[in-house]
Amino acid sequence: MSEFPKEFLWGGAIAANQYEGAWLEDGKKPNVTDVLVGILSKDPGIAWNEETKKYEMKLNPEKVYLSHDAVDGYHRYKEDLKMMAEMGFNSFRTSIAWGRIFPNGDETEPNEAGLRFYDEFFDTLNKLGMAPVITLSHYETPLHLLTEYGGWSNPKLIEFWMRYVKTVFERFKGKVKIWLTFNEVNALFRMPFVAGGVLTIKNPKDPDSPLASTTKQDQWDAYHNLLVANALTVQACHSIDPESKIGCMMTASAIATYPYNCDPDNVLGALDVQRKSVFYMADPMCLGIIPSYLKSVWKEEKVTVHFTEEERKLIRENTVDLLSFSYYRSTTYEKGTNLKVDTGGVACKENPFLQDKAPQPWGWPVDPSGIRYTLNVLYDRYHLPLFIVENGIGLDESLNKEDTIEDDFRIHYIQKHLENVQKAIELDGVDCMGYLYWGPIDIVSAGTGEMKKRYGFVYVDRFNDGTGDLHRAKKKSFDYFKHVIETNGKEL
């Protein structure tokens, strides 16, 4: 195989809430991920207040909320980014924590300290030769917008969001040339609280379990409002900074949903998973259409979803410039078997044809061919530049006596996935603009909220119980990935 294209973007991706910490510093207020660990374990994170008839933040002081300090990136990013540059990254993805700019989300004036922080962050990236790839919201809706307004099911969020995005487009014009709107926005229905930023606050059925009580109607209202917001954001970005490009961001692992066998029910069922997991959101954002099969979904779920003619026109005329996505794993589909979901995607019956068993307790299947399949399906359907902005493997690792980790499985994982990306580009003609490895430095896991699930080329000394001296150490994969970039993918 030959090299990757000359302009190929090599780098890594993180998210503000999993990396920065400093959760209440310089004016920032809590966002949805800051309480998630509590909510998932009913411990409780947020609790219903019978007097105000609202949810409010309620933390258990005995519990460690790792995201609050994360890996202290807020204070250490300059040193960390130097290590990323040392690997030869020419691009780097992170997010802006919305709550640093508009702490509650509904203010009319931005928080200057937050803007200054990202000014310096993006300057540092540019100086080090890494193009900033910036997600506007990576599971980071300010908590106040959920407890006060019910989150994205409320159309008021569009107004607050637009104030935020216009502020950052204007402020960072020229510094940021690639923007992504909402991280894994199509995970709205499987993770309504974090990915959708939705909370049902009208007469909750189960006040102790806000996640369970979020109604389908609220989730579909959020779908409507997010699509309108996405189109308005694309429009604003193009008008404020015509030099920059803006993309949507999908969790695309569910594209690689394989029928368990040739039973036509399984083939149709697999298509249904692709539609309900990815296409239902990517079609409006990339093609400007609201898919027709949604009508029967809405009927079945007894919800009303209405787009006005004006909104349909807005969505049609403001499609994204590129489609970015995460790919971690594939799944099978067999009728009658329950589908399980988490941050990585959908899981059904084990695929007996997959060769690699990852040494990790989270049970995410490893399927490098799935990334080639995903690239092809997305390119055939959308004909847009594709950007892999997340792919990686989380492992349970500890330092050896030499203060390093021999992470051979991670090297193997990357090598096999990149081979498939290369085939998709060279043999299939897919326009893939880059590969950003997820979590090039250990950060807090989005799905489990723990440190134990490590993705990094760089280790960070922090543990699930909150201990650790936070020192950084290079793993074996650091040199491997550096070599891949040096040879522009010729030597994998």
Nearest approach in angstroms of CB 159 to ligand BG6 is 26
Contact range with ligand BG6 by CB under 6 A, out of 60-68, 425-433, 439-447, 473-481: 439-447
Contact range with ligand BG6 by CB under 6 A, out of 70-78, 87-95, 266-274, 445-453: 445-453
Binds ligand BG6 by CB under 6 A, chosen from 16, 237, 446, 492: 446
The two three-digit tokens of residue 394, written as one number: 């989380």
Contact range with ligand BG6 by CB under 6 A, out of 86-94, 156-164, 424-432, 438-446: 438-446
Q: Using alpha carbons only, what angle is made at residue 138 by residues 132 and 143, rounded to the nearest 5 degrees?
A: 135
Q: Which of residues 204-233 bind ligand BG6 (CB under 6 A)?
A: none
Pairwise CA distance, residues 83 & 43, whole Å: 37
Pairwise CA distance, residues 196 & 183, whole Å: 10
Please, which residue, 84 or 201, has the CB nearer to ligand BG6? 84
Name the residue type at position 224. H
Nearest approach in angstroms of CB 14 to ligand BG6 is 8
Binds ligand BG6 by CB under 6 A, chosen from 453, 462, 474, 475: 453
- Helix, strand or coil, per DSSP, at residue 404: coil
Q: Which of residues 368-397 bind ligand BG6 (CB under 6 A)?
A: 390, 394
Q: Is the peptide bond before 44 cis (omega within 30 degrees of 0)?
A: yes
Nearest approach in angstroms of CB 445 to ligand BG6 is 3
Please, which residue, 89 or 437, has the CB nearer to ligand BG6? 437
Please, which residue, 274 or 422, has the CB nearer to ligand BG6? 274
Give Cα separations from 195 to 41, 191, 413 (angstroms).
Answer: 18, 5, 27
Nearest approach in angstroms of CB 262 to ligand BG6 is 31
Question: Does the annotation mark 390 as catalytic?
Answer: yes
Binds ligand BG6 by CB under 6 A, chosen from 67, 95, 213, 251: 251
184 lies in the binding site for ligand BG6 (CB under 6 A): yes
Please, which residue, 404 or 448, has the CB nearer to ligand BG6? 448
Q: Please name which of 16, 89, 1 lies closest in space to residue 435, comparing C-alpha atoms.
A: 89
Pairwise CA distance, residues 464 & 353, whole Å: 34
111 lies in the binding site for ligand BG6 (CB under 6 A): no
277 lies in the binding site for ligand BG6 (CB under 6 A): no
15 lies in the binding site for ligand BG6 (CB under 6 A): yes
Closest residue to ligand BG6 in the complex (CB): 447
Q: Using alpha carbons only, what angle is made at residue 116 by residues 178 and 168, rounded to the nearest 5 degrees?
A: 40
Pairwise CA distance, residues 369 & 347, whole Å: 17
Pairwise CA distance, residues 375 & 368, whole Å: 12
Please, which residue, 59 or 249, has the CB nearer to ligand BG6? 249
| Number of H-type helices and E-type strands within the chain | 15, 16
Pairwise CA distance, residues 199 & 208, whole Å: 13
Pairwise CA distance, residues 474 & 478, whole Å: 6
Catalytic residue among 390, 402, 406, 419: 390
Binds ligand BG6 by CB under 6 A, chosen from 219, 343, 374, 422: 343
Pairwise CA distance, residues 360 & 415, whole Å: 18
Q: Which positions ≥6 away from 380 have C-beta within 8 Å?
A: none
94 lies in the binding site for ligand BG6 (CB under 6 A): no
* Binding site residues, ligand BG6, CB under 6 A: 15, 18, 183-184, 251, 326, 343-344, 390, 394, 438, 445-448, 453
